[in-house]
Amino acid sequence: MAKQMVSELVANEPVAAAFVVKEKALLPFRNKPGRYLNLVVGDRSGEMPARVWDNAEEIASRFEIGDVVHLRGHVEEYQGQSQIIIQQLRCCEPSEYDQADFVKTSSRPPAEMLQQLRDNIEAIGEPNLKALVEAIFGDDEIMKRFAQAPAAKAMHHAHIGGLLEHTLNVTEIVKTAAQLHAELNRDLLIAAALLHDLGKIYELEGEMALDYTNLGNFVGHVVITDRVVNRKLAQLPDFPAALANLLTHILLSHHGEREWGAPIMPAIPEACALHYADNLDARVQGYETFRQERSDAEGQWAFHRIFDRNIFLGPTTPD
């Protein structure tokens, strides 16, 4: 029997299906003693708030964030938003669900993306940069994590293989920029594009429900990337110091602005190019994901909280 998906849930209809727990909190009632259980549950089609009004503390003790639970209840509308009111909840055994129902994956075949990654490494002509990138992606642990990791928790490419997909997109954008602007150092740009989000393999964790690691919360992926790259640079004693400074500068500045998490601002054209390539791919994919998730919404506009604006949901191509 097909699983009941979040995208199929309708107000005033019953719910009886398995979902992964993405958020969990016991909150006090406003008008009476005690606490209720506030959840966000989801699957690969989306997520939805859920509430347990009765026996909340005992039910909360049965599971943790990231667990798959089977819910019975119904959907109701509250302040214009759908939510699940839960009457029964239990943890699921792994044999009771298909992981593919809960985890989004890249639409591109993994083997195809890995080959494109190898082709881009091979295209680096500067021998020191090529040796560094080969050393990093030749590390089995790094490569395994990199091939599976998402690019973000929610905003863009938040799916298995998303980091690899985003990295390849950014690399193609900077290669185009280098064709248009011959003054750019193409090899430096390709190497930086391939490495720019490397730290995300240690910033995020979780298979069913993504969350930040302690290292991710304390340090963030930009600084983690710098640490990983500089550990590899230390193993290449003949790597030119000036070239190392240029590369690490590009990586540290690729968020563009300090309020966006950049420890330092872009100071060379290649750093500027990578920043805008990264932002372009993330924003376009973020818009498209938002539009797809709200494809069944009433009306042609919806507010995007992170972008802080209304997004048009209608077609942008002529009929």
CA gap 315, 319 in Å, rounded:
9
Q: How far apart are the first and last CA of the chain?
A: 37
Domain ranges, ordered by start, for the chain: 6-101, 110-291
| pLDDT of the residue at 183 | 97
**CATH class held by domain 110-291:** mainly alpha
Domains 6-101 and 110-291 share a fold: no
pLDDT, tens only, 188-201: 999 999 999 999 99
Q: In the predicted model, is pLDDT for residue 1 greater than 70? A: no
Which pairing describes strands 211-212 and 309-312: parallel, antiparallel, or unpaired? unpaired
pLDDT, tens only, 22-35: 899 999 999 899 99
CA gap 71, 66 in Å, rounded:
15
Tell me which CATH homologous superfamily contains domain 6-101.
Nucleic acid-binding proteins (2.40.50.140)
Q: 152, 92, 101: which is closest to 279 by C-alpha? A: 152
Cα 45 to its chain centre, rounded Å, is: 15
* CA-to-CA separations, 293 to 3, 46, 68, 117, 303, in angstroms, rounded: 18, 7, 21, 29, 12
Q: 224, 213, 221, 229: which is closest to 278 by C-alpha? A: 221
Buried b (16+ CB within 10 A) or exposed e, 44-83: bbebbebbbeeebeebbeebebbebbbbebbbeeeeeeeb
pLDDT, tens only, 215-251: 888 999 999 999 999 999 999 999 999 999 999 999 9
Percent of all residues in the chain with a pLDDT value above 90, rounded to a whole number: 66
* Residue 124 near residue 134 (C-beta atoms within 8 A): no
| pLDDT of the residue at 208 | 64
Structure tokens at 28: 């006090």
**Strands, DSSP E only, in the chain?**
14-28, 35-43, 46-52, 68-78, 81-91, 204-205, 211-212, 301-304, 309-312
| pLDDT of the residue at 216 | 86
3-state SS, residue 182: coil
pLDDT, tens only, 96-153: 988 878 877 888 899 999 999 999 999 999 999 999 999 999 999 999 999 988 877 7
CA gap 317, 146 in Å, rounded:
34
CA gap 172, 166 in Å, rounded:
10
Residue 28 CB coordination number (10 Å): 9
